[in-house]
């Protein structure tokens, strides 16, 4: 026998064609069903009905953590009144019965963009086939080119960025390549491209799974061949600017202190020994006392590098001192990210990556040109929900920085399942109607770039407003696929946008 809770309910979501859809089926005291919305479809767990009250949980993975929200509900005047609770948060919502003929839920579709927007994109599109001449003309006045990506695991993105760096080196004099990967581990790749080690797979060890691809390896092999050619007197350099890898950072600090300050080395080993990573869930929950102690120790380590600078440099060199000190600084950044937790820690990470990029650039001769490689969200000039790396860099370098984002139509990419398991290939269909991605696809062009800075009139107005786009990082979940679709402000975030109509997954190395 059905209860008053049985059926399909909908909670309105402002600005969405469809709200959150809740399907409920009861069987005596047992309750089952699903909870679907812009963040995907989730099964109701631990559902029960007792008298006039219903209870259920939903669980979802977010940045490596399992988040549980516990709901209680009751029927009032034909409406389902729900209260959702998670640590520190309580949310109330009211659901109405969803009409049987309402059709499939649609959370993202918008009206098609005006035809003049598509025409502007088509007439201003830069070809990105064998010849990158038009693209080169748009970025030739820059000292720093930041290249994003809508997924970390798209072959076409990695291939185009390899071709771009080759063009930047051969035609515009770029010499430094820096990427969203652990700073400490980048030394091994720099050794590889400069011929100091020969095993590429070993050099890539410790870098993120999505860089261990045939496409990325082709770039590194090209950089190595370029550097080993005696005709190229100024050699290319490789650097990472991300902050993970506490174990490798610690080993680099200890190896340096072995040479210059054995007593400090013994102390550092005592409080950092055995730590391979400051993991967000475990370290975040270690407690204020543990956090305060670790922070104080790392702060003291950096002060020692500064106070004993001249002595350390006499025993080694200024360059070795600077690199060892930077290892300690990145260790400090890594600890702060984990201590601050998911939200504030993510903001801290982007700020730290910007500081590391600045450190890399400041170590080079004046006028050195650099290409950066990271996710769209990091290179973008944006301040919501927090300031991105790109926004910090824009304020430092201004128009000397060119920011290039990527969008795509449909196809495949490799990613790590957010609910566990090794990297695999995912496939997605066409983007939502009226989205930024669909509008670019409406040009009929399979591959092109457009300089958003040149937009005027209606095109500028449309590109300045919030537009729906799929933005996927290194993780993905088909159960919560919609969470990777959200608003971006194209013209405020990027100078140039590059569109790929059909994508394929990267090839694992």
pLDDT, tens digit, 9 for 90 and up, residues 434-489: 999 999 999 999 999 999 999 999 999 999 999 999 999 999 988 778 888 888 99
pLDDT in tens, the chain (509 residues): 578 999 999 998 877 778 899 999 999 999 999 998 876 788 999 999 998 999 999 987 655 567 789 999 999 999 999 999 987 788 899 999 998 888 777 888 888 999 999 999 999 999 998 899 999 999 999 999 999 999 999 999 999 999 999 999 999 999 999 999 999 899 999 999 999 999 999 999 888 889 999 999 999 999 999 999 999 999 999 999 999 999 999 999 999 999 999 999 999 999 998 888 887 667 877 888 989 999 999 999 999 999 999 999 999 999 999 999 999 999 999 999 999 887 788 899 999 999 999 999 999 999 999 999 999 999 999 877 789 999 999 999 999 999 999 999 999 999 999 878 899 999 999 999 999 999 999 999 999 999 999 999 999 999 999 999 999 999 998 877 888 888 899 999 999 999 999 999 999 99
Residue 272 dihedral angles phi and psi, to the nearest 5°: -110, -10
Tally DSSP H helices, then E strands, for the chain: 17, 21
Give the helix ranges, DSSP H, for 363-387. Answer: 376-379
What local confidence, expressed as pLDDT, does residue 347 receive?
A: 92
7-97, CATH topology level: Lipocalin (2.40.128)
Contact status, residue 476 vs residue 426, Cβ threshold 8 Å: yes
What local confidence, expressed as pLDDT, does residue 228 receive?
A: 97
Q: Which two tokens stand for residue 16?
A: 């969405």
Q: Which two tokens stand for residue 444?
A: 């009929």
Please determine, looking at this structure, whether the domain spanning 246-362 carries the CATH number 1.20.1440.
yes
What local confidence, expressed as pLDDT, does residue 386 receive?
A: 84
* Domain ranges, ordered by start, for the chain: 7-97, 115-240+369-503, 246-362
Distances, alpha carbon 181 to alpha carbons 145, 207, 258, 373, 497, in Å: 17, 6, 27, 9, 23
Query: Which class does domain 115-240+369-503 fall in?
Result: alpha beta
What are 108-158's pLDDT values in tens digits?
Answer: 888 899 999 999 999 999 999 889 999 999 999 999 999 999 999 999 999
CA count, 13 A, side-chain hemisphere, 355:
13
Enumerate long-range contacts of 218-225, CB under 8 Å, 24 or more apart.
Answer: 218/162, 219/158, 219/161, 219/162, 219/165, 219/177, 220/189, 220/192, 220/193, 222/162, 222/166, 223/177, 223/193, 224/192, 224/193, 224/194, 224/195
The DSSP annotation for 16-61 comes to -SS-EEEEEEEETTEEEEEEEETTEEEE-EEEEEETTEEEEEEEEE
What local confidence, expressed as pLDDT, does residue 118 receive?
A: 96
* Centroid of chain to Cα 368: 26
Contact status, residue 37 vs residue 28, Cβ threshold 8 Å: no
What local confidence, expressed as pLDDT, does residue 280 receive?
A: 67
Q: Which two tokens stand for residue 49?
A: 């009905």
């Amino acid at each position: 026998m059905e209860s008053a809770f049985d059926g399909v309910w909908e909670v309105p979501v402002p600005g969405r064609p469809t709200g959150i859809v809740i399907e409920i089926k009861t069987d005596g005291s047992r309750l089952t069903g699903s909870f679907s919305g812009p963040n995907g479809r989730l099964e109701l767990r631990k559902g029960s009905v007792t008298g006039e009250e219903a209870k259920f949980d939903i669980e979802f993975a977010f940045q490596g953590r399992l988040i549980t929200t516990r709901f209680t509900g009751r029927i009032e005047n034909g409406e389902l009144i729900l209260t959702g609770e998670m640590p520190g948060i309580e949310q109330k919502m009211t659901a109405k019965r969803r009409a049987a003929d309402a059709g499939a839920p649609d959370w993202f579709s918008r009206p098609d963009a005006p035809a003049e927007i598509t025409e502007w994109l088509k007439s201003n599109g830069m070809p990105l086939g064998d010849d990158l001449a038009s693209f080169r003309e748009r970025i030739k006045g820059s000292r720093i080119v930041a290249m994003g990506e809508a997924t970390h695991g798209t072959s076409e993105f990695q291939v185009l960025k390899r071709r771009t760096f080759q063009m930047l080196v051969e035609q515009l004099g770029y010499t430094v390549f820096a990427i969203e990967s652990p700073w400490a581990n980048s030394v091994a790749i720099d050794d590889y491209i400069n011929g100091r080690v020969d095993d590429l797979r070993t050099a890539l060890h410790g870098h993120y799974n999505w860089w261990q691809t045939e496409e990325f390896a082709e770039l590194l092999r090209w950089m190595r061949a370029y550097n080993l050619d005696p005709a190229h007197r100024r050699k290319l350099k490789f650097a990472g600017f991300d902050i993970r890898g506490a174990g490798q950072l610690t080993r680099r600090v200890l190896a340096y202190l072995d040479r210059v300050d054995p007593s400090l080395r013994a102390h550092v080993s005592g409080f950092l020994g055995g730590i391979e990573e400051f993991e967000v869930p475990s370290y975040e929950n270690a407690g204020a006392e543990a956090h305060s102690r670790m922070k104080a120790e790392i702060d003291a380590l950096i002060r020692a590098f500064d106070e004993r600078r001249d002595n350390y440099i006499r025993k080694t060199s200024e360059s070795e001192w600077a690199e060892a000190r930077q290892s300690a600084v990145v260790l400090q950044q890594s600890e702060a990210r984990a201590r601050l937790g998911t939200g504030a820690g993510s903001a801290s990470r982007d700020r730290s990556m910007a500081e590391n990029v600045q450190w890399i650039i400041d170590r080079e001769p004046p006028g050195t040109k650099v290409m950066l490689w990271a996710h769209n969200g990091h290179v973008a000039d944006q301040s919501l929900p927090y300031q991105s790396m790109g926004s910090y860099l824009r304020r430092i370098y201004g128009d000397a920085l060119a920011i290039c984002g990527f969008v795509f139509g449909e196809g495949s990419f490799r990613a790590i399942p957010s609910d566990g398991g090794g990297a695999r290939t995912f496939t997605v269909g066409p983007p939502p109607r009226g989205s930024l991605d669909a509008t670019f696809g409406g040009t009929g062009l399979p591959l092109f770039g457009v300089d958003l800075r040149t937009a005027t009139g209606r095109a500028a107005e449309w590109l300045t407003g919030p537009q729906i786009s799929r933005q996927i990082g290194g993780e993905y979940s088909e159960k919560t696929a919609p969470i990777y679709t959200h608003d971006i402000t194209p013209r405020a975030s990027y100078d140039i946008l590059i569109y790929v109509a059909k994508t394929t997954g990267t090839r694992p190395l």
